[in-house]
Chain A
Amino acid sequence: MEKFDVIIVGGGLAGLSAAYTLAQEGLETLVLERGDYSGAKNVTGGRMYVNPIRDLFPDLWKKAPFERFIAREEVSIMAEERSVTMQYDGNELAQEPYQSFSLLRGKFDKWFAREAERKGAMLVSKARVDDVIMEDGKVVGVRADGDELRADVVIACDGVLSFIAEKAGLRKPLASKNYAVGCKEIIEMDRQLLEDRFNLQGDEGMARLYMGDVTGGSFGGGFLYTNKESLSLGIVVGIDALLENEEAFKAPELLDRFKQRPEIASLIKGGQTAEYSAHVIPEGGVKAMGSLYGSGILVAGDAAGFSMNIGVTVRGMEYAMASGYYAAQAVMAAKARNDFSGASLAEYKKLLDKSFVMEDFNNFKESLDVLDHSRFFTFYPELAGSIMRDLYAVPAGAKDRIFPTIKKHMTVGEIFGIARDMWRLRKI
């Protein structure tokens, strides 16, 4: 029977980061990925922030197959019939080292898998892990297609549903309030047309996030990222929000409605849809997380719940990569002690607690509760849109003065409401 130092379930960003780090240090590492190749089952919006993880993988970035570096940030607040867009250009965005990049997982993960192999990791794709092997309450390996494979440690990097963590008794039951669903299209577009339309030079890219009526007034948002020759366009909406929505839009209808908004339709015109994908996103934060470690097992990436949805932006890729890295560090420390018990592997939690990962999650602990507040997704967008409409309107008669225009939109009660919201926002 084959025995490894480490078996990693799932060859996504978390799994590959762990494998890359472990193999580099000479540990016998096996990655099992159920897709045809790494990247075949992975969906993301499309932007990775490199700053927090740059130093964890110093040699990785130079050749990474990113699409474009994000040189311009935009945010659109959408009301039913109007929208307000803000644009941010900053010198720091356009200077190396770039802060963030758009990417496509089909390319990125496939490449990353090769890099991990170069370091010495063994990768087997088209291999679904069905179960963990437990002996005396300790995880000692996995079962895949009738094969039994053993290791000192198993790292569950199998993404948001994490059946592996569940089988090891580490995952909490899947409660719909802690998850959102994202639907996304890749829209191919001639490179020149894309660069002209979005006013981009060379490898510059832009990221635009949408909030408000994107998702029929419920918790969520939309995103548009420019890739080299395509756009990543999608929406993210809480599963409960989708179910509670009065107009009962079906998930795919929401994306179609979004695409048909005149603001979006004009941006994607001339492009052609090349792929349609969807995926669940964990967004319950610390409260929804199960155990991160057990005897002989660690959990990293989305499997551990390391994704965050703070209103307009989903972040998960950096957390996946960092948690994979720290899981690898914890395994190496455990190996040095030759002790793979839960107590020994608890080092993982300590490493995470000291890192930006848990710091972010602790800071944004309340964000979901605060943001799950439909005012942020209906009232404010309508308010901003209406104020802008009146500011820009030049009626047949005399134009209203500006202050009364704004005041008109806010009764005393509403001002109190806003103050209350601001008080809540303080928490995130």
Chain B
Amino acid sequence: MSEVMGLKAKLGLNVFKEDKEFHIRIKPGREKDERLKKAVIVCPSGLYSANDAGDVEISVDGCLECGTCLIACGEEVLEWHYPSGGAGVQFRFG
């Protein structure tokens, strides 16, 4: 079996350019919404996690802008838009 490369290390290979603001946010008051739990499963970058209090949190660094969380959870719980022009992930290979 080959060694598994950690997700953080994998994301570290990509180019990410800084943005002035967060481009994805959990809508205030929705942290406990059941729908957010889906994001924990579907996010290819593993950026969502549930804390001990049952609130789902996102740390948006390493976002691949794939859109999976938005589609899985819906616009009612997530504020989701693309990063500003020239910011965010920049694929070299794609």
Contacts and interface: CB of A to CB of B under 8 A. Distances in A.
Interface of A: 34-37, 39-44, 104-107, 109, 125-128, 144-145, 160-161, 163, 174-176, 179, 181, 183, 185-186, 230, 239, 242-243, 248-252, 255-256, 259-260, 262, 265, 268-269, 273-280
B45 A278 contact: yes
A248 B41 contact: yes
Interface string B67-94: 1101110100000011111101111111
A252 B86 contact: no
Contact of A239 (B7, B13, B68, B92): B68
Q: Is the interface of B mostly helix, strand, loop or mixed?
A: loop
B93 A36 contact: no
Nearest to A130: B81
Given A109-B94, A161-B67, 19 more contacts: A34-B82, A34-B83, A40-B90, A43-B94, A44-B94, A106-B91, A106-B92, A128-B85, A145-B85, A176-B71, A230-B93, A243-B42, A260-B4, A273-B10, A274-B92, A276-B14, A277-B93, A278-B44, A278-B64
B81 A163 contact: yes
A111 B47 CA distance: 33
A342 to B, nearest CB: 26
B53 interface: no
A259 B44 contact: no
A105 B91 contact: yes
A280 B71 contact: yes
A161 B80 CA distance: 11
A208 B23 CA distance: 36
- A105, A249, A251: residue with the most chain B Cβ atoms closer than 10 Å: A251
Given A34-B85, A243-B42, A277 B72 contact: no
A280 B67 contact: yes
A41 B42 contact: no
A269 B2 contact: yes
A252 B13 contact: no
The 5 A-B residue pairs with the shortest CB-CB distance, nearest first, are A126-B86, A105-B94, A278-B44, A126-B85, A278-B66
Contacts of B85: 34, 125-128, 144-145
Interface in B1-45: 1-2, 4-5, 7, 10-11, 13-14, 17, 38, 40-45
B65 interface: yes
Contacts of A104: 93-94
Contacts of B67: 160-161, 279-280
B58 to A, nearest CB: 15
A79 to B, nearest CB: 18
Contacts of A186: 93
Given A105-B94, A106-B91, A278-B66, A260 B13 contact: no
B13 A181 contact: no
Contacts of B46: 250, 252
B82 A275 contact: no
B76 to A, nearest CB: 11
Nearest to A43: B94
Given A160-B67, A260-B2, A250 B40 contact: yes
B44 A252 contact: yes
B94 A176 contact: no
Nearest to A42: B94
Contacts of B40: 250
Contacts of A252: 7, 44-46
A294 B89 CA distance: 32
A58 B37 CA distance: 49
A265 B90 CA distance: 28
27 contacts: A35-B90, A37-B90, A40-B91, A41-B88, A104-B93, A105-B93, A144-B85, A145-B84, A161-B67, A175-B71, A239-B42, A239-B71, A243-B72, A250-B43, A252-B46, A255-B44, A259-B4, A262-B1, A265-B1, A268-B2, A273-B5, A275-B92, A276-B10, A276-B13, A276-B14, A277-B94, A278-B66
Contact of B66 (A175, A181, A242, A260): A181
Nearest to A180: B68
A316 to B, nearest CB: 13
Contacts of B43: 250-251
Contact of A279 (B41, B64, B83): B64
B4 A256 contact: yes
